[in-house]
Amino acid sequence: MTHPTEASVALVQIRRHVMWNRIIAVVEEQAQTLVRTAFSTSVREAGDLAAAVFDRDGRMIAQSVTGTPGHINSLAAAVVHFVDAHPIETMEPGDVFITNDPWLTSGHQHDLTLTTPVFHKDQVVALVANTCHVVDIGGRGFTPDGRQVYEEGLNIPILHLFHRGEANATLFDIVRMNVRESSQVIGDIYSFAAANDVAAQRLIAMMVEFDVDDIDDLADFVIDSSRRATLDRIRQLPEGVFRNELTMDGYDQPVTLMAALTVSEDGIHVDYGGTSPASSHGINVVLNYTKAYTSYGIKAVVAPDIPNNHGSLEPFTFSAPEGCILNAQRPFAVAARHIIGHLLPDTIFGCLAQIIDGGVQAESSASLWNIQLRSGTSVSTSSDYEGQIPEFEMIHFNSGGTGARPAKDGLSATGFPSGVKGVPVEATESVVPVVFWRKELRSDSGGAGRTRGGLGQIIELSGAGGAPFDVLAMFERVDNAPKGREGGRSGATGTVALGSGTQLRSKGQQPVPPHETLVLGLPGGGGFGSPLERPPLLVAEDIRDGRVSIDAARIDYGVVIDETGRPDESATAELRRSMST
């Protein structure tokens, strides 16, 4: 039987594990409150949010499972700025702080970050915070067309949103007068504050239950063990410098992302030297957001199962030349920074693929294809349209295909690396007067390979009754396809056009005339391994399902199908032989 000291040592250890689990549950409650109460579709339907708990030094201890990497990892770096601006000892019960400064938080002004101190026994014991995307922040709106951040709406420096429980009425008034859909934005701000309240209450309940007056020891334990576990994983990798380069469409000229990933026993450093300078339009990325998606990409490959916190992120360090598109400086425009940011995991996978046994997934469609529409009599010329032009602003989240994995096909029409979700067509049509005519998988868009890239989609929509509207285009990989790996082929590039055939630019506000449709072809993921090694039966299945055409099967995969739909084995073998020489 156990004697008391051993039992108490075991109990201390188990208690810390239990409290760690509890804190992860606390932030998940925080995230669920956001989803339940938020107004903007980006938070409530798409999950474009992050929620987390921090120690008194602003170090992240735990983050919610629900959320998206760009927000989570930039929130991790944001809270320390609140503590700098308002030292812990000056905070009071009932205080809530807010900012949307892109350079302090997640890279564009649509994201609000709220931080609330947690008081227990008259002391600040922790901070809880969340970052969420609101439906509008004024200015040009969610579009890459801005030339300076000043065109992109309201900037809120770090301010009290509530002071000793009292709402900052001046700030609420300013917000109300500067944004479209102001009641939704104001409602959202209340929801975000409520979510922090829920997390704070649960954290205090945990402290009471476990009879602890602070969580400093717990924070050290969480952060130290996560750092150690991450370093253990990194030390299993060969040391060295591994480079990759990705060329993207950009706003009006191609953008090159250059990464040098250095593995050492102290961690992984990524340097983006050689990357293109910042763009003259709003696709620029602040360093916080660059770090967020880079560390997500590394973590997903190297240490996916280690919980995300200050300790597990610490071994990853970053540098990017000031003024390059991945470390843009004020006043460069940043509203559509996700277009470039979402490509960073693909950039990093190209480095890691050189050292990971079994390989890393091929490139993905990656950047979200958000359909942002604006309609109204001040937007379109009404003389061309016989009916009433409705006033609305709409966003609809969509994704292309992900890259093929070493042993599995890519995922069709699935968000990656973004964690946001799509919105049902019926739900969107119930809110704005548009009609979707097609939203289905796009044949032959998945890159051929031993494993196939995920398929993109075809989406076609019009204004209800043929009304005209504008599209605020921010679509990537129209000129540069997601590449395959280890002999896999590229996925299909994206297309942006009118139903009548006229091509549109992939970026920027453009009109869709009356009785026209907007037709988008979303990119497919790259393939992995030689397509000639894909089992013919799987190719035949893809043909039957209309994912791959008979022609593409022959040309890309060297598979010939007989009249019953089964692979013609001898013809296939012969064709594949001739193709491989």
Partner 1 sequence: MRREVRLAIDIGGTFTDLAVETGHGPDRTTTTAKTLTTHDAPERGVIEGIAGLLRRAGIETSDVTMMIYGTTLATNLLIERKGARTALITTQGFRDTLEIRNESRYEQYDLDIDLPEPLVPRWLRLPVAERTNVHGEVLVPLNEGDLLGTVDLLRSAEVESLAIGFLHSYINGSHEQRARDLLAPLLPDVEISLSSEVSPEMREYERISTTCANAYVQPLIGQHLTRLESELHRTGLRCPLFLMLSGGGITTLDTARRFPVRLVESGPAGGAIYASYIAQQLGLERVVSYDMGGTTAKLCLINDGTPHTSRNFEVARIYRFMKGSGLPLRIPVIEMVEIGAGGGSIAHVDALGRIAVGPESAGSDPGPACYDQGGTRPTVTDADTLLGYIDPDNFAGGSMKLDRSRAEAAMSDALGSPLGLDTIGAALGVFEMVDENMSNAARVHSIESGEVIADRTLIAFGGAAPLHAARLAEKLGIDRVVVPPGAGVGSALGFLRAPVAYEVTRSFRQRLSDLDAESCNRLLDEMRVEARSVVEPGAAGRQLVESRLAYMRYVGQGHEVGVELPIRIEAPRIDDSSPGALGKAFQAEYDRLYERSIPDLDVEILSWVVVLGTEIDLAEQYLPNIESEGPADPVGTRLITESGTGRSVEVPVYEREGLEVNQSVPGPAIVVETNTATVISSRYAADVHPNGHLILRAQDLTEDGAPS
Site for partner 1 in 229-288 (CB under 8 A): 229, 232-233
Helical axes 287-302 vs 69-85, angle rounded to 10°: 130
In the three-class reduction of DSSP (H, G, I as helix; E, B as strand; rest coil), residue 312 is classed as: helix
Interface residue with partner 1, options 157, 177, 381, 437 (CB under 8 A): 437
* Interface with partner 1, residue 315, by CB under 8 A: no
Minimum distance of partner 1 from residue 425's CB (angstroms): 6
Interface residue with partner 1, options 209, 217, 384, 479 (CB under 8 A): 209
Minimum distance of partner 1 from residue 48's CB (angstroms): 11
* Interface with partner 1, residue 177, by CB under 8 A: no
Show contacts with partner 1 in window 538-557 (CB under 8 A). 544-547
How many residues sit close enough to partner 1 to count as binding (CB under 8 A)?
100
Token pair for residue 121? 């026994």
Q: Are 262 and 269 in contact (CB under 8 A)?
A: yes
In the three-class reduction of DSSP (H, G, I as helix; E, B as strand; rest coil), residue 342 is classed as: coil
Q: Outline where 478-530 has alpha helix (H).
A: none
Q: DSSP per residue over 433-480, as a string?
A: SEEEEEEEE-TT-SPPSSBPPPP-EEEEEEEGGG--EEEEEE---SSS
* Interface with partner 1, residue 183, by CB under 8 A: yes
Q: Where are the beta strands (DSSP E) in 94-183?
A: 96-99, 111-120, 123-133, 159-163, 166-167
Interface residue with partner 1, options 335, 411, 518, 548 (CB under 8 A): 411
Interface residue with partner 1, options 421, 505, 515, 554 (CB under 8 A): 421
Interface residue with partner 1, options 151, 181, 216, 516 (CB under 8 A): 181
State the Rg of the chain over Cα: 25
* Interface with partner 1, residue 422, by CB under 8 A: yes
Long-range contacts from 234-242, C-beta under 8 angstroms, 24+ separation: 234/263, 234/265, 234/267, 234/268, 234/302, 234/303, 234/315, 235/265, 237/263, 237/302, 237/355, 237/356, 238/263, 238/355, 239/263, 239/264, 239/265, 240/355, 242/351, 242/352, 242/354, 242/355
Burial 206-230 (b: 16+ CB within 10 A, else e): bbeeeebebbeebbebbbebbbebb
Per-residue binder mask for partner 1 (CB under 8 A), 93-132, x = binder: ----------------------------------------
Show contacts with partner 1 in window 497-526 (CB under 8 A). none
Pick from 403, 306, 422, 283: which is nearest to 349 by CA? 403
* Interface with partner 1, residue 226, by CB under 8 A: yes
CB proximity list for 136: less than 8 A, separation 6 or greater: 110, 142, 153, 179, 180, 181, 185, 393
Interface residue with partner 1, options 430, 570, 578, 581 (CB under 8 A): 430
Binding segment toward partner 1, per CB under 8 A, in 82-90, 117-125, 326-334, 413-421: 413-421
* Interface with partner 1, residue 301, by CB under 8 A: yes
* Interface with partner 1, residue 408, by CB under 8 A: yes
Minimum distance of partner 1 from residue 84's CB (angstroms): 28
Cβ distance to partner 1 smaller for residue 327 or 412: 412
How far is 109 from 138, CA to CA, in rounded Å? 9
Interface residue with partner 1, options 128, 237, 303, 519 (CB under 8 A): 303
* Interface with partner 1, residue 351, by CB under 8 A: no
Binding segment toward partner 1, per CB under 8 A, in 4-12, 254-262, 329-337, 548-556: 4-12
How far is 395 from 142, CA to CA, in rounded Å? 9
Minimum distance of partner 1 from residue 415's CB (angstroms): 5
Cβ distance to partner 1 smaller for residue 205 or 241: 205
* Interface with partner 1, residue 486, by CB under 8 A: no
Binding segment toward partner 1, per CB under 8 A, in 137-145, 149-157, 257-265, 426-434: 426-434
Minimum distance of partner 1 from residue 162's CB (angstroms): 10
* Interface with partner 1, residue 357, by CB under 8 A: no
* Interface with partner 1, residue 537, by CB under 8 A: no
Token pair for residue 195? 């979510």
Interface residue with partner 1, options 33, 113, 244, 276 (CB under 8 A): 33
Binding segment toward partner 1, per CB under 8 A, in 63-71, 78-86, 116-124, 549-557: 63-71
How far is 261 from 378, CA to CA, in rounded Å? 49
Cβ distance to partner 1 smaller for residue 121 or 544: 544
Q: Where are the beta strands (DSSP E) in 346-414?
A: 371-375, 392-396
Token pair for residue 290? 């660059």
